[in-house]
């Protein structure tokens, strides 16, 4: 020991023993006398104190990785021995196992890994595209259904039920997601989601009674709940911390693209007999494509973090390699999941960290819907029709607003990692409040008749809706999804994301179901004033509680 440790002041025997133990766990470093010669022969510069060179540090790093691997293997062995009946995903839904050996032997280049990550991100976003199609279909279809179809004349309550059936089903879809995610994996849950979209489209497109449309909307809601709980979580588990926001931002952007697609289809279906059936069926198209990708290709691999948690370390490493992240230590991820990931809601209340994460995520999802965004989306053509625009022009203007929102969402996905989640959320909520104030003025006769002509009020409403949608697309649209997938610890992320997303759909159902009734009681002016007050309150709360999660690793 004296040959390795330079003379030191007298210390307690405990300190000496700690020094001896730490030195025993690493390779002997060259002495001060030999350090320069050793550095010359190995072309490695000695460290400042001459005791620990690069080779020793490398050896310690390898030892640390070996200990992690050993501890991980031990934990996995104990997990499997205590749970001999652990369920495994079907072979048809495993992507990584078929190419594990090839990736270990020949890892892809960084450029190829980046492309693979984008392909996986875009593939999973097909589910969010179906979400947009399913949500936007009602905006165009409702205009045609209420004017008289084979479904009969709709009362206000029946129209509210048709609209609210989807968010109601989404609540149950969110609740069911952990039961699909944890035992079977993310790909299996996405496959179930796609089947839900296909079945719901068939039900609504073939409907002969309004009750069948409501049932189809409810089934679509189940799929929507799974998709919104799954997609950003999957992307965050696959993407590196420095670009996680950019990739995760594509999920809410896909919803906007789906909304635009449904509005454009509504325009083409204007003069088609039973054109509303095509609007409802459109949501099945992206779902069919994604289901084919899952079953027939490896473009959408299983989440590597889910694989590591379930002790499939080799497959997790292979997936990280394929996504251009060969340096990720999957043993550390596996060890961080010190207990089996849980799907029990009570696990979110066991410690302060998870309680705080649940509070932040739930508040963000609450305010996302409480500001009235889906009223603007679902009822935008009807709002504009009531202000004097004819039916086709109202749908066309709504589609144009969606185009501008897509442009804003594209900018957001490229900038969110540079600007940060918190500044975008606060600035966007402020702009939403301003837009709601304009919308309130546009439906207040005592205001616009004194300051503008009656024909200008509808265009003020169009401008307000445009500002609202742009501000939402860079703040309360993507930020709740991204933050929700980032704030929870890995062992409760699945159930935490599902619980917080369920709050979003509870508010969605409440707001959309009550909008028409509240408007009858309070008038449109009172409704928009209510949403304005909520948005101002949201600005205050978000300023106090929202943390900055940009660039932080998921295991932090």
For 286-336, the pLDDT digits (tens) are: 999 999 999 988 889 999 988 888 888 888 888 888 888 888 777 777 666
What average pLDDT does the chain have?
A: 78
Q: What is the dihedral angle through the alpha carbons of 273, 219, 363, 530, rounded to the nearest 10 degrees?
A: 40
Domain spanning 110-545 has what CATH number? 1.20.1250.20
Higher local confidence (pLDDT), 385 or 89: 385
- Could you tell me which residue, 200 or 390, shows the higher pLDDT? 200
Domain residues of the chain, as ranges? 1-51, 110-545
> What number is the average pLDDT over the span 376-401?
76
Contacts of 444 (CB under 8 A, 6+ apart): 525
The overall pTM is greater than 0.85: no
pLDDT single digits (tens) 471-486: 998 899 889 999 998 8
Task: Please give the DSSP secondary-structure letter assigned to residue 326.
Answer: T
Residue 71: per-residue pLDDT: 55
What does residue 16 show for φ and ψ, rounded to 5 degrees?
-65, -45
Rounded Cα distance, 542 and 501, in Å: 17
Is residue 105 over pLDDT 50? Answer: no
Q: What is the DSSP string of 375-415?
A: HHHHHHHHHHHHTT--HHHHHHHHHHHHHHHHHHHHHHHHH
Render pLDDT for 143-162 as a digit per residue (tens, 0 to 9): 777 666 667 777 777 887 88
The structure tokens listed for 495 are 């159930």
- Range scoring the smallest mean pLDDT among 2-16, 273-287, 328-342, 536-550: 2-16
Residue 544 is predicted with a pLDDT of 93
Do residues 109 and 323 make contact, with C-beta atoms less than 8 angstroms apart?
A: no
Q: Is the pLDDT of residue 39 over 60?
A: no
């Amino acid at each position: 020991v004296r040959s390795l440790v330079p003379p030191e002041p007298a210390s307690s025997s405990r300190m000496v023993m700690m020094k001896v133990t730490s030195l025993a766990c690493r390779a002997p470093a060259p002495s001060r006398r030999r350090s320069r010669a050793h550095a010359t022969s190995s072309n490695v510069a000695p460290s400042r104190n001459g005791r620990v060179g690069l080779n020793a540090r490398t050896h310690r790093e390898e030892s640390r990785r070996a200990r992690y691997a050993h501890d991980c293997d031990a934990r996995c062995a104990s997990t499997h021995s205590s749970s001999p009946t652990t369920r495994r995903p079907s072979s048809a839904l495993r992507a990584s196992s078929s190419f594990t050996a090839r990736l270990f032997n020949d890892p892809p280049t960084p450029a190829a890994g980046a492309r693979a990550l984008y392909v996986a991100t875009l593939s999973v976003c097909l589910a969010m595209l179906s979400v947009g199609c399913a949500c936007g279909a009602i905006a165009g279809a409702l205009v045609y259904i209420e004017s008289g179809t084979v479904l009969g004349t709709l009362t206000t309550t029946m129209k509210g039920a048709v609209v609210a059936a989807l968010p109601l089903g989404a609540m149950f879809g969110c609740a069911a997601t952990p039961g699909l995610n944890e035992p079977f994996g993310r790909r299996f849950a996405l496959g179930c989601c796609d089947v839900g979209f296909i079945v719901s489209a068939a039900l609504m497109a073939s409907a002969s009674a309004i009750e069948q449309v409501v049932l189809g909307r409810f089934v679509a809601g189940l799929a929507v709940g799974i998709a919104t709980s799954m997609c950003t979580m999957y992307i965050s588990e696959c993407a590196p911390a420095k670009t996680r926001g950019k990739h995760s931002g594509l999920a809410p952007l896909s919803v906007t693209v789906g909304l635009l697609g449904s509005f454009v289809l509504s325009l083409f279906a204007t003069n088609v007999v039973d054109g509303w059936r095509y609007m409802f069926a459109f949501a099945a198209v992206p779902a069919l494509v994604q289901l084919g990708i899952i079953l027939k290709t490896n473009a959408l691999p299983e989440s590597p973090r889910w694989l590591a948690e379930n002790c499939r370390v080799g497959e997790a490493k292979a997936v990280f390699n394929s996504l251009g992240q060969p340096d990720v230590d999957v043993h550390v991820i596996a060890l961080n999941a010190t207990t089996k990931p849980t799907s029990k809601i009570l696990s979110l209340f066991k410690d302060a960290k998870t309680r705080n994460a649940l509070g932040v995520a739930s508040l963000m999802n609450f305010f996302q819907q409480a500001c009235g965004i889906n009223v603007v989306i679902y009822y935008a053509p009807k709002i504009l029709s009531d202000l004097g625009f004819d039916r086709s022009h109202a749908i066309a203007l709504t589609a144009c607003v969606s185009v501008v929102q897509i442009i804003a969402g594209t900018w957001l996905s490229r900038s969110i990692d540079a600007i940060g989640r918190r500044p975008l959320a606060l600035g966007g909520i402020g702009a939403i409040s301003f837009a709601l104030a304009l919308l309130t003025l546009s439906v207040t006769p005592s205001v616009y008749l004194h300051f503008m002509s009656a024909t200008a009020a509808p265009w003020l409403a169009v401008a307000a809706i445009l500002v609202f949608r742009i501000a939402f697309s860079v703040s309360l649209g993507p930020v709740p999804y991204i933050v929700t997938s980032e704030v929870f610890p890995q062992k409760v992320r699945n159930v935490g994301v599902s619980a917080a997303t369920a709050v979003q759909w509870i508010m969605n159902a409440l707001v959309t179901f009550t909008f028409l009734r509240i408007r009858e009681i309070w008038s449109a002016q009172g409704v928009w004033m209510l949403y304005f007050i909520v948005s101002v309150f949201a600005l205050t709360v978000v300023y106090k509680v929202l943390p900055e999660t940009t660039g932080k690793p998921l295991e932090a």
